[in-house]
Amino acid sequence: MLMLSVISVFLFVSVLIGGTVYLYLNRRTVTQQRIDRLIKPVQIEVSSSLIRKDTPIQEFLTHFGKWLPTNKKDTHTYSRILTSAGFRKETVPVFIGGKIIMAMILPALYLFIYALPKGALLNSMTSLYTLGLAVFGFLLPGLIVQQIANNRHTVIFHTLPDILDLITVCVEAGISIDAALVKACGNPLFKGNPLTEEFKKVSQETRAGKPRSDAMRDMAERTMVQDVSAFVTMLIQTERFGTSLSKALRIHSDSLRTKRRQIAEEKAAKTAVKLMFPLVIFVFPSLFVVLLGPAVIMLKDVFK
């Protein structure tokens, strides 16, 4: 009991002395307090659109993506595919991590849901299916990204002539090409369109001091659309040789619109050929049953 009392008194005195010394060392003079009230801390807020933080899922996939060693050629190929689909170049580790995760999840689901309850883990067909699902899971993210890129290319191809018409009207009104791009991108009709997002990036890079020709070439490389590359080439050549920009834009938009109409006519001409197989497989058999069914029944009654 005496020992417990001594320890308690020692701890109380130690805490009391430590608190007194801490307050004494951290005391501030009146002058310092006045300076602190006059000087307010400056907080710099950075827009979230300039610096994007990865989500926990992206960080998790990035951790797995670092497991697979890739050379510069594969990394460049993945970055081109991702930027073509509208993603950032920095998402390459996330993409690789997604491929690894899918290659692990699909075989695991097959083994635990189908093979394990039936006791077919040691079957040769189970090993074959597991290997096939692993390969399919590894290729699945690439197929999804490629499909997203194809859809994005289609939207850009159909939007380019309409945006060029707006840019042409702005240029003919005496507005510079940079201001015309901003005006065209600000149209509510093209809100959220991938092509307007690319034009906004070009405007931001140009304002930051990057040459317009380089910004346009980067846009053509990001989109990977042939018509956008042709538009960028036309714009650079027009600026270099000093020809009429409005006339070149109008001719180029007319050619793109003609190309779009020709593609639509080509697809319409192929419709008759594509309808042949559903007609032969689904429509004609039912039509034969309706037309020949009563005749077959009557002949059956006659030959009884």
Based on the fold, state whether residues 179 and 143 are members of the same structural domain: no
The domain spanning residue 255 has which CATH number? 1.20.81
Based on the fold, state whether residues 139 and 232 are members of the same structural domain: no
Based on the fold, state whether residues 197 and 244 are members of the same structural domain: yes
Based on the fold, state whether residues 240 and 161 are members of the same structural domain: yes
Instruction: Yes or no: say if 115 and 126 are a contact pair by the CB < 8 Å rule.
Output: yes
* 295: in domain: no
* 86: in domain: yes
Q: How far apart are the first and last CA of the chain?
A: 118
Q: What band does 50 get if pLDDT is binned at 50, 70 and 90?
A: very low
Based on the fold, state whether residues 120 and 165 are members of the same structural domain: no
Could you tell me the residue range of the domain that residue 247 belongs to?
154-262
- The predicted structure's pLDDT at residue 144: 92
Residue 86 has pLDDT above 50, yes or no: yes
Based on the fold, state whether residues 238 and 163 are members of the same structural domain: yes
Q: What would the mean pLDDT of 48-54 be, rounded to a whole number?
A: 50
Amino acid at 279: L
Based on the fold, state whether residues 180 and 113 are members of the same structural domain: no
* 268: in domain: no
Based on the fold, state whether residues 245 and 171 are members of the same structural domain: yes
Query: Which two structure tokens, joined as six digits, stand for 176?
Result: 């510079």
Q: Mean pLDDT over all residues of the chain?
A: 78
- The predicted structure's pLDDT at residue 26: 54
Residue 147 has pLDDT above 90, yes or no: yes
Which among 246, 212, 253 is positioned nearest to 231, based on CA atoms?
253
Based on the fold, state whether residues 122 and 198 are members of the same structural domain: no
Residue 112 has pLDDT above 70, yes or no: yes
Based on the fold, state whether residues 107 and 176 are members of the same structural domain: no
* Total count of domains within the chain: 2
- The predicted structure's pLDDT at residue 37: 62
Task: Answer with the one of 125, 148, 171 that is the final residue of a domain.
Answer: 148
Instruction: Yes or no: say if 236 and 213 are a contact pair by the CB < 8 Å rule.
Output: yes
Which among 73, 106, 105, 75 is positioned nearest to 89, based on CA atoms?
75
* 93: in domain: yes
Based on the fold, state whether residues 144 and 64 are members of the same structural domain: yes
The more confident residue out of 259 and 62 is 259
Based on the fold, state whether residues 201 and 126 are members of the same structural domain: no
Q: Dihedral (C-alpha) 127, 129, 134, 136: value to the nearest 10 degrees?
A: 160
